[in-house]
Amino acid sequence: MKMEQPTMGAMQMSFDDKQKVSATSSTIKMSARDVKVFYGDTEALHGINMDLYENEVVAFIGPSGCGKSTFLRCFNRMNDTIDSARVTGEILLDGRDIHDKKLDVVQLRAQVGMVFQKPNPFPKSIYENIAYGPRLHGLVDNNKSDLDEIVETSLQRAGLWKEVKDRLDAPGTGLSGGQQQRLCIARAIAVSPEVILMDEPCSALDPIATSIIEELIDELKGSYTIAIVTHNMQQAARVSDKTGFFHLGDLVEINETREIFTNPKDSRTEDYITGRFG
Ligand SMILES: Nc1ncnc2c1ncn2[C@@H]1O[C@H](COP(=O)(O)OP(=O)(O)OP(=O)(O)O)[C@@H](O)[C@H]1O
């Protein structure tokens, strides 16, 4: 995929235009402590430490293969689904170890929802795409009006309600790519998550659909903690409060997004954001 490589000057302008304000949240939602991930014998992540704060958007940037997606998947144990993957270290959600044997992984993945690169609605109606999770998690007693309300609220929060309210029985797969991605966000929202992980959620979308999702991310952070992997540095600058730069399986630095793009501490970060390597 082609990467945007804006200059520092261009990046500065986008900050000035938006007058982006630094994050103010101080409550840690999730923490990673000395997290390593191995695929077979290969160590892909070399002991990462990071805190995700409530109501904050953190962007993970870095060259292809540096471990951004692998690290993102640690927060809801999606690496468990990869046979060769082994995770060590500690990941805490509200101070609780998510690898605790008593913890229900299905419940964890509702609390820590995920949106993927390619929109992946179920081959079901728009309504059923949203209703499935709340039913599975017992959030409603199959009470139609409660379920209707969850479906409507979730679609509203994902900015899709107006476009689909008259065709809730139509297949989710019949929507445009951008609409499908918002459907997937609505599906994640429907099970009352606290954290939403997004793995390049706009990479398959056109610029208009991308900007709708970016606006949505800005709204959603009022209610959720969001971590987003992106190849697009302009996008990281637009949507995130903090940015972490990864390189060869290490988290080189994480800081306020403005700092990362205007005053990086590590020469590797500077080389990356100025397009010297990618
Ligand atoms: N399922 C897997 N099996 C074996 N190795 C894997 C697997 N998934 C990722 N890796 C390896 O782990 C390393 C990190 O990959 P990862 O996909 O996390 O990086 P990334 O920064 O998200 O890359 P990209 O930006 O290209 O998506 C790479 O060397 C990759 O080849």
Q: First-to-last CA distance in the chain?
A: 11
Mutation to probe ligand 1, out of 42, 66, 198 (largest number of atoms < 8 A from CB) = 66
**Residue 141, φ and ψ in degrees, nearest 5:** -90, 50
Determine, yes or no, domain membership for 228: yes
Angle 71-76-81 (CA atoms, 0-180°, nearest 5)?
85
Centre of ligand 1 to C-alpha 201, Å, is: 17
Between 25 and 61, where is the model more confident? 61
Structural domain harbouring 40? 8-19+27-125+195-273
In this structure, is residue 171 part of a structural domain?
A: no
Q: What is the DSSP string of 161-203?
A: HHHHTT-TTSBGGGS-HHHHHHHHHHHHHTT--SEEEEESTTT
Does the residue 116 lie in any domain?
A: yes
Evaluated on CA atoms 202, 203, 205, 206, the torsion sign reads positive
In a domain, 242, yes or no: yes
| CB 143 less than 6 A from any atom of ligand 1 | no
Check if 68 has its Cβ closer than 6 Å to any atom of ligand 1. yes
**Edge-to-edge strand order for the sheet containing 242-247?**
112-115, 195-199, 225-229, 57-61, 242-247, 250-256
Return the amino acid letter for 201.
Answer: P
User: How far, in Å, is the centroid of ligand 1 from the Cα of 146?
Assistant: 41
Please report the pLDDT score of residue 11 as a whole number. Answer: 52
Query: How many A from CA of 245 to the centre of ligand 1?
Result: 15
Q: What does the pLDDT look like over 50-95, one tens digit per residue?
A: 999 999 999 999 999 999 999 999 999 999 999 999 999 999 999 9
**CATH code of 205's domain:** 3.40.50.300
Domains identified in the chain, total number = 1
pTM: 0.90
**Separation CA 48–CA 32 (nearest Å):** 7
Residue 88 lies in a domain: yes
- Asked, for residue 71, whether it belongs to a domain, the answer is yes
Instruction: Specify if 247 maps to a domain.
Output: yes
pLDDT at 3 over 70: no
> Has residue 213 got a pLDDT over 60?
yes
Q: Tell which residue, 256, 262, 203, 210, has the closest CA to residue 230.
A: 203
> Tens digits of per-residue pLDDT, 125-160?
999 999 999 998 888 876 788 899 999 999 998 999
* pLDDT in the model for residue 142: 66
Centre of ligand 1 from the C-alpha of residue 72, in Å = 11
User: Does 155 reside within a domain?
Assistant: no
Confidence of residue 243 (pLDDT cuts 50, 70, 90): very high
How far is it, in rounded angstroms, from Cα 269 to Cα 233?
12
pLDDT recorded at residue 256: 97
CA separation for the pair 200, 197 (Å, rounded): 10
ipTM above 0.95 for this complex: yes
Query: How far, in Å, is the centroid of ligand 1 from the Cα of 259?
Result: 27
Mean pLDDT taken over the chain: 90
Q: What is the pLDDT of residue 22?
A: 46
Question: Is residue 23's pLDDT more than 70?
Answer: no
